């Protein structure tokens, strides 16, 4: 079969198959977990069956015999589930999920090695047999051409005469009483054709991420060029005001500016993926954890369609897994405890995503035992992170933030405190790296809610240009809540710290230069400004000499050598070719706490 194809053509098909299989696998994972809760959903069961069937068919003609054999066995089980010859038990589900795991490993092998790696499937195949055996109704014959060895599948089915050219199973209205396994009778030739047609019918194309990245880079450069053009146009316009050509130049530059913005949006859109890509793996995680710990947990996913930049999607997975695990492990109580507390036996974890302006907000909330603020406070004092007086002056929310301290992440402390905190500092660091913030709300015995706010993209930000001494910095606008003119008389001292009154609140203020360069504070000029920045619920006023305006900037890394500079997120090249440093607001807060 493979002989008909040129080698590279074959490789292209294998690549396509890998992509398709990947999608099917994550779909299978999610679907299997769902079906366990709604065993009567025949639509869903059919879809699961089709996923397994599709992989079986394609892997058969590609010569991945082990893959084909395993999916074939899964298909047997699924088919009998479909016909209600088997009932869905947790044990059966365990075996199916295990099969999916093994399938994933096998696919990973193919992806890595370029061919199927020999693998002992006896164990899992036996398990798949035995779950069928237990519930086997006497009247039903066993699958007639079940392979006796993994290697036998494709050669056996190949001999059959093709009797169908369409694939009945791809029809969404497939009846519950599916035709008596017509799929078994298709030849590899037909399957190959099906596979190719299925891929062709796709309205999407797959593009190497690298190409998208270089497109993104070029657009970044274009944005710089646009900025330069606009600046130049302004200067020339001021000098030759009223000239005809200036009017035209103005129009042209406005046009270029507009198109650049559009193009930038379009390219960014290309890199957007629905957050569901990450969310999809959580039903499985929750299901496995709940089963391990004898808990009952419902996971609700909301807003899976919300789109995020690919890089953000890639980075956000681990922190989310961590938070979800925490909710399962330490948040949700066992059914007995929940009953005693008068809560429903089933705990609920809700995972939501929504877009808010140029941010995406992800929340993870559970109705578990919540965080014991008093214990956190105790531990914070014990660890020397705060004094009793300081704690007394803090809000509950501030106190809870201590769980994000590295010192809090040792397991012993954590279980004492209510369980949370294992690696919470890592979670926070990861989110901050993405220019995001994380926030906690929790009420004892009511539950905990984590709110993560992330930028839609990492590459381009809106920045506020400020002048501080001789230096010009860019402060990400997302962190700026407002700017106010500084009235030097309004600065007072609380605990030797400079503060100003801002409406009803007292705001600590510090000179930006002092924070970054540790240069001694000097008398603020009459014309100084305060840029109010926020990080989680913390706020700080940065004193700067001048506000120079707002600009869209492309973040560039400063490389390994200077990349870890505290308080600096990166650099950007302005329209005039000069480099300006971008302030890392989260990092500033860290520097400030070390200064105070």
Partner 1 sequence: MARIKEVETVTSVAGAAKNAGEDILQLVSFKIGEEEFGVDILKVQEINRLVEITRVPRSPDFVEGVINLRGKVIPIIDLRKRFMMEARESDKDTRIVVVYIKGQVMGMIVDGVSEVLRLPKDTIEPPPDIATSVDSEYIQGVAMLEDRLLIFLDLSRVFSEKERIALSQM
Q: Which is nearer to partner 1, 204 or 564 (CB)?
A: 564
573 binds partner 1 (CB under 8 A): yes
Cα–Cα distance, 269 to 355 (Å, whole number):
14
Cα–Cα distance, 148 to 126 (Å, whole number):
11
Catalytic residue among 46, 79, 227, 326: 326
SS3 333: coil
Q: Is 75 a catalytic residue?
A: yes
The helix-helix angle for 209-239 and 244-270 (nearest 10°) equals: 160
Catalytic residue among 75, 233, 524, 551: 75
Task: Tell me which stretch binds partner 1 (CB under 8 A): 232-240, 282-290, 477-485, 557-565.
Answer: 557-565
Task: Identify the CA nearest to 323 among candidates 454, 457, 425.
Answer: 425
Q: Which is nearer to partner 1, 375 or 433 (CB)?
A: 433
Q: Which two tokens stand for residue 184?
A: 């078994």
Q: Which is nearer to partner 1, 103 or 515 (CB)?
A: 515
561 binds partner 1 (CB under 8 A): yes
Q: How far is the CB of 269 from partner 1 (least distance, A)?
A: 24
Task: Tell me which stretch binds partner 1 (CB under 8 A): 339-347, 404-412, 525-533, 561-569.
Answer: 561-569
Under a CB-based contact definition with an 8 Å cutoff, are residues 307 and 313 in contact? no
Q: Considering only residues 453-482, where is the footprint of partner 1 by CB under 8 A?
A: 471
Cα–Cα distance, 454 to 441 (Å, whole number):
18
Q: Is 20 a catalytic residue?
A: no
Q: Considering only residues 500-519, where is the footprint of partner 1 by CB under 8 A?
A: 516-518
Q: Which is nearer to partner 1, 77 or 472 (CB)?
A: 472
Under a CB-based contact definition with an 8 Å cutoff, are residues 543 and 512 in contact? yes
215 binds partner 1 (CB under 8 A): no
Q: How far is CA 402 from CA 408, 418, 441, in A?
A: 7, 13, 13
548 binds partner 1 (CB under 8 A): no
558 binds partner 1 (CB under 8 A): yes
* Out of 580, 585, 589, 592, the residue judged to bind partner 1 by CB under 8 A: 580
Q: Which is nearer to partner 1, 518 or 593 (CB)?
A: 518
Q: Which is nearer to partner 1, 471 or 552 (CB)?
A: 471
Task: Identify the CA nearest to 277 among candidates 584, 502, 30, 98.
Answer: 30
Q: How far is the CB of 572 from partner 1 (least distance, A)?
A: 8
Q: Are strands 492-494 and 538-544 parallel, antiparallel or unpaired?
A: unpaired
* Out of 166, 388, 395, 557, the residue judged to bind partner 1 by CB under 8 A: 557
Output the DSSP codes for 502-565: ETTEEEEEEEHHHHHH-PPP-PPPTT-EEEEEEETTEEEEEEESEEEEEEEEE-B--HHHHTT-
Q: Which is nearer to partner 1, 120 or 470 (CB)?
A: 470
Cα–Cα distance, 540 to 536 (Å, whole number):
11
520 binds partner 1 (CB under 8 A): no
Query: How many other C-beta atoms are found inside a 10 Å radius of the C-beta of residue 520?
Result: 8
Q: How far is CA 116 from CA 24, 60, 167, 197, in A?
A: 18, 12, 26, 24
Q: Which is nearer to partner 1, 469 or 508 (CB)?
A: 469
CB burial string 80-91: b at 16+ within 10 A, e below? bbbeeebebeee
* Out of 221, 340, 374, 443, the residue judged to bind partner 1 by CB under 8 A: 221
571 binds partner 1 (CB under 8 A): yes
581 binds partner 1 (CB under 8 A): yes
Q: Which is nearer to partner 1, 403 or 583 (CB)?
A: 583
Task: Tell me which stretch binds partner 1 (CB under 8 A): 94-102, 405-413, 498-506, 577-585.
Answer: 577-585
577 binds partner 1 (CB under 8 A): yes
Cα–Cα distance, 227 to 418 (Å, whole number):
52
567 binds partner 1 (CB under 8 A): yes
Task: Tell me which stretch binds partner 1 (CB under 8 A): 192-200, 493-501, 522-530, 555-563.
Answer: 555-563
179 binds partner 1 (CB under 8 A): no
Under a CB-based contact definition with an 8 Å cutoff, are residues 453 and 437 in contact? yes
Q: Which is nearer to partner 1, 281 or 556 (CB)?
A: 556
Q: Considering only residues 294-353, where is the footprint of partner 1 by CB under 8 A?
A: none
Q: How far is the CB of 38 from partner 1 (least distance, A)?
A: 51
Cβ burial, residue 325 (10 Å; 0-12/13-18/19+): middle
* Out of 564, 585, 595, 596, the residue judged to bind partner 1 by CB under 8 A: 564
Task: Identify the CA nearest to 509 among candidates 535, 490, 526, 537.
Answer: 490
Query: How many other C-beta atoms are found inside a 10 Å radius of the C-beta of residue 551?
Result: 20
Task: Tell me which stretch binds partner 1 (CB under 8 A): 2-10, 65-73, 80-88, 564-572.
Answer: 564-572
102 binds partner 1 (CB under 8 A): no
155 binds partner 1 (CB under 8 A): no
Cα–Cα distance, 436 to 360 (Å, whole number):
9
Q: How far is CA 12 from CA 207, 208, 407, in A?
A: 13, 14, 51
* Out of 121, 362, 536, 568, the residue judged to bind partner 1 by CB under 8 A: 568
String marking each residue 236-275 x if it binds partner 1 according to CB under 8 A: ----------------------------------------
Task: Identify the CA nearest to 54 among candidates 167, 154, 142.
Answer: 167
Cα–Cα distance, 150 to 199 (Å, whole number):
27
Catalog residues that contact partner 1 under the rule CB under 8 A. Answer: 221, 224, 471, 516-518, 556-562, 564-568, 571, 573, 577-581, 591
What residues act catalytically? 53, 75, 326
């Amino acid at each position: 079969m493979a002989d008909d194809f040129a080698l590279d053509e074959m490789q292209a098909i294998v690549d396509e198959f890998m992509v398709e299989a990947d999608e099917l696998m994550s779909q299978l994972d999610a679907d299997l977990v769902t079906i366990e809760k709604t065993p009567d959903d025949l639509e869903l069961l059919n879809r699961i069956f089709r996923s397994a069937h599709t992989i079986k068919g394609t892997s058969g003609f590609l010569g991945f015999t082990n893959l084909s054999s395993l999916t074939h066995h899964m298909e047997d089980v699924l088919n009998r589930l479909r016909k209600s010859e088997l009932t869905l038990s947790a044990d059966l589900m365990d075996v199916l999920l295990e099969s999916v795991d093994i399938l994933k490993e096998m696919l990973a092998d193919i992806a890595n090695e370029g061919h199927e790696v020999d693998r002992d499937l006896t164990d899992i195949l036996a398990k798949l047999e035995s779950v069928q055996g237990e519930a086997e109704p006497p009247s039903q014959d066993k699958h007639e051409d079940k392979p006796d060895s993994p290697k036998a599948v494709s050669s056996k089915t190949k001999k059959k005469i093709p009797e169908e050219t369409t694939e009945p199973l791809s029809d969404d209205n497939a009846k519950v009483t599916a035709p008596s396994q017509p799929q078994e009778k298709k030849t590899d030739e037909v399957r190959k054709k099906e596979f190719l047609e299925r891929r062709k019918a796709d309205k999407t194309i797959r593009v190497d991420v690298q190409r998208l990245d270089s497109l993104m880079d070029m657009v970044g450069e274009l944005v710089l060029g646009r900025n330069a053009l606009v600046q130049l146009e302004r200067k020339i316009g001021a000098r030759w005001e009223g000239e005809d050509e200036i009017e035209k130049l103005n129009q042209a530059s406005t046009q270029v500016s507009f198109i650049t913005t559009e193009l930038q949006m379009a390219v960014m859109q290309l890199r957007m993926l629905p957050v569901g890509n990450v969310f999809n793996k959580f039903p499985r995680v929750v299901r496995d954890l709940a089963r391990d710990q004898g808990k009952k947990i419902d996971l609700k996913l909301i807003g899976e369609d919300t789109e995020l930049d690919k890089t953000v999607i890639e980075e956000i997975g681990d922190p989310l897994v961590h938070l979800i695990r925490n909710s399962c492990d330490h948040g949700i109580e066992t059914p007995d405890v929940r009953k005693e507390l008068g809560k429903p036996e089933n705990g609920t974890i809700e995972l939501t995503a929504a877009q808010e302006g140029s941010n995406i907000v992800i929340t993870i909330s559970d109705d578990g035992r919540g965080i014991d603020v008093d214990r956190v406070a105790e531990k914070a004092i014990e660890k020397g992170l705060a004094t009793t007086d300081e704690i007394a002056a803090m809000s509950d929310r501030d106190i809870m933030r201590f769980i994000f301290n590295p010192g809090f992440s040792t397991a012993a402390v954590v279980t004492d405190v209510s369980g949370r905190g294992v690696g919470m500092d890592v979670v926070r660091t990861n989110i901050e790296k993405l220019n995001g913030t994380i926030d906690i709300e929790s009420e004892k015995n009511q539950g905990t809610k984590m709110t993560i706010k992330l930028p839609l993209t990492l590459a381009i930000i809106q920045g506020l240009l400020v002048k501080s001494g001789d230096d010009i910095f860019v402060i990400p606008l997302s962190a700026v809540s407002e700017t106010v003119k500084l009235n030097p008389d309004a600065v007072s001292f609380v605990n030797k710290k400079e503060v100003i009154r801002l409406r009803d609140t007292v705001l600590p203020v510090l000179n930006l230069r002092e924070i970054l360069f540790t240069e001694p504070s000097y008398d603020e000029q009459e014309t100084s400004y305060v840029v109010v920045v926020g990080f989680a619920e913390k706020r700080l006023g940065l004193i700067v000499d001048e506000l120079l305006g707002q600009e869209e900037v492309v973040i560039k890394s400063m490389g390994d050598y200077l990349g870890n500079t505290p308080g600096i997120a990166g650099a950007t090249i302005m329209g005039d070719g000069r480099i300006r440093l971008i302030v890392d607001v989260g990092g500033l807060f860290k520097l400030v706490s070390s200064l105070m």
